[in-house]
Amino acid sequence: MKLFLIISLLFATSFPAYSYPSNDSPWAHRSVIYFAPTIDEHVKQFLLETLKNDCEMMDRDVITLVITEDGYTIPAWVKHEFDLKAMYLLYGIKEGSHTAILVGKDGAEKLRWFKKANWEKIKQTIDKTQNRHDETQGRADPCST
């Protein structure tokens, strides 16, 4: 996880990083980063929905992070490993906003939304990628009932 965020910061600030083919997959997972002013009802709802969609997100190799302006993070170690203000700047997060970003395995931003997550759209966005197509080829959906 630390490596992913470090690499993300390096790629976002380094022009040569953009010269690599976008179909390469340097990371083993996707990320959803939820930025908020503080832990409030929107963050709690997001975390609840994350639990409800846990199987689908695990199957899609998605990890979730919550970062608040007042320094609270989930998981807690994130605040010790990264400059949270730099994360806000890197992703262009406006002060006082609830903003979530889906970052693909290629390190690129795939989707951005505010306050309430549309989990179907998140899954569809991931499922449309070539990486996801390659991951699911020839195997059953482990989350189907």
Using one digit for the tens of pLDDT, what is the confidence trace for 30-58? 899 999 999 999 999 999 999 999 999 99
The predicted pLDDT at position 22 comes to 42
In CATH terms, is domain 30-128 a member of 3.40.50.300? Answer: no
**Tokens of residue 8, six digits:** 């993300």
Q: Where are the domains of the chain?
A: 30-128
**Tokens of residue 120, six digits:** 């179907």
- What is the pTM for the complete model shown? 0.76
Q: Determine whether 34 is exposed, middle or buried from the number of CB atoms within 10 Å of its CB (0-12, 13-18, 19+).
A: buried
Query: Quick one: average pLDDT of 108-126?
Result: 92
